[in-house]
C-alpha cells in the first residue's frame, strides 16, 4: 500500500498568510543563495489553524545544513513571534537534499508525505513512492529514541513553567505520532489530526488505553506535574520500543 500525501492543496488562512510570507522572505534574505526549498506541515498550510493557539512547523532544505546558522535562525523566529502573536511557536527543521533522496523512508517521508512546498522546487517529487511496510516503519523511527531522550532531558532540566508546558505538549505529540506509526499497516494512511491518531491507536494497539488517554490529555492541556508525566511517558515509550523490536524480529525471521 502506497502512502498518500497529507496535504494536497495549500489553503493558508488570511490570519497567517502575511506571517508565512514574512518567514520565507526573512529566511531567503538571511541565508541568500543557500536555501533550496521551504516546506510546511500541520494546520497552517491545511487552513485549519486557530489564531493564538496553533504553532508553525517549517522544514528548510539546503545543500549543506551547516550553512544555516542556528543563532541567526533563532533571531528570525524571535522577531516573527513578537510581530505575529497569532502564532504560538515556530519549529524549524533543517535537512539536506541528500538526506531526502538517500533516506526516503525518513527525510523523504517528511517532505513528500507530511510537508507541502511553500518556496522553491519540491524535492519531494523526486522521492519514489513510499510503501507501507515493517521496513518503512522501522526506518521512520530510527531517530525516535534520540528525539525522545533529548526532550526528556530538556523537560527534566526546565525551570520555567512556560517551557515545561511546551515540552510536555511536544513530548506528548511526539509519542502519539510514534505509536500511530505502529498501526500504519492497519490504517493505510498517515494522519496529522491528533484525535484521529489517538482513535487509531486505541483501535489497533494493545497498549493500555489509559496511557493513550493521558498522553492526549497532556497534549491538550500540559499543566501536569513533571515527575508524574515523565513516569507515564517512560511506560509509553517502553511499550513502543518493545513493539518496534518485535516488528524488527518478525521481519528478520521472515527475511
Domain ranges, ordered by start, for the chain: 14-130, 140-254
C-alpha cell at 98: 541528500
CATH for 14-130, among 3.30.70.260, 3.40.50.150, 3.75.10.10, 3.30.460.10?
3.30.460.10
Contacts of 94 (CB under 8 A, 6+ apart): 59, 60, 62, 65, 68, 73
Find all residues with CB under 8 Å of 153, minimum gap 6, and list them. none
User: The cell 495549500 sits on which residue?
Assistant: 10
For 87-118, write each residue's pLDDT tens digit.
Answer: 988 999 999 999 999 999 999 999 999 999 99
Model-level pTM? 0.85
pLDDT of residue 104: 93
pLDDT tens digits, 176-204: 999 999 999 999 999 988 999 999 999 99
Q: Which of 89, 88, 39, 46 is nearest to 62 (CA)?
A: 39
Distance CA 164, CA 161 (A): 5
Query: Percentage of the chain surpassing pLDDT 70?
Result: 98
**Helix spans in the chain (H):** 14-30, 43-46, 70-83, 97-102, 109, 134-140, 144-157, 161-181, 184-187, 194-204, 209-220, 226-254
Tell which residue, 201, 203, 206, 153, has the closest CA to residue 176: 201
Q: Give the CATH fold of the 140-254 domain.
A: 1.20.120
Amino acid at each position: 500500500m502506497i502512502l498518500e500525501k497529507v496535504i494536497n492543496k495549500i489553503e493558508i488562512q488570511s490570519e497567517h498568510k502575511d506571517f508565512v510570507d514574512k518567514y520565507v522572505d526573512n529566511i531567503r534574505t538571511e541565508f541568500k543563495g543557500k536555501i533550496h526549498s521551504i516546506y510546511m506541515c500541520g494546520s497552517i498550510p491545511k487552513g485549519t489553524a486557530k489564531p493564538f493557539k496553533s504553532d508553525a512547523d517549517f522544514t528548510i532544505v539546503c545543500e549543506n545544513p551547516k550553512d544555516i546558522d542556528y543563532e541567526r535562525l533563532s533571531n528570525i523566529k524571535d522577531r516573527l513571534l513578537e510581530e505575529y502573536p497569532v502564532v504560538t511557536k515556530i519549529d524549524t527543521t533543517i535537512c539536506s537534499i541528500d538526506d531526502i533522496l538517500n533516506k526516503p523512508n525518513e527525510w523523504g517521508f517528511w517532505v513528500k508525505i507530511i510537508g507541502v512546498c511553500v518556496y522553491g522546487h519540491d524535492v519531494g517529487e523526486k522521492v519514489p513512492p513510499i510503501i507501507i511496510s515493517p521496513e518503512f516503519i522501522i526506518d521512520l523511527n530510527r531517530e525516535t529514541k534520540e528525539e525522545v531522550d533529548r526532550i526528556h532531558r530538556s523537560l527534566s532540566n526546565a525551570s520555567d513553567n512556560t517551557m515545561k508546558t511546551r515540552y510536555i505538549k511536544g513530548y506528548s505529540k511526539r509519542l502519539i505520532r510514534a505509536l500511530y506509526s505502529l498501526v500504519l499497516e492497519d490504517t493505510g494512511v498517515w494522519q496529522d489530526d491528533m484525535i484521529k491518531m489517538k482513535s487509531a491507536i486505541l483501535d489497533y494497539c494493545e497498549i493500555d488505553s489509559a496511557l493513550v488517554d493521558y498522553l492526549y490529555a497532556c497534549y491538550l492541556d500540559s499543566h501536569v506535574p513533571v515527575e508524574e508525566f515523565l513516569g507515564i511517558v517512560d511506560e509509553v515509550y517502553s511499550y513502543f520500543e518493545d513493539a518496534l523490536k518485535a516488528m524488527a524480529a518478525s521481519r528478520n525471521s521472515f527475511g
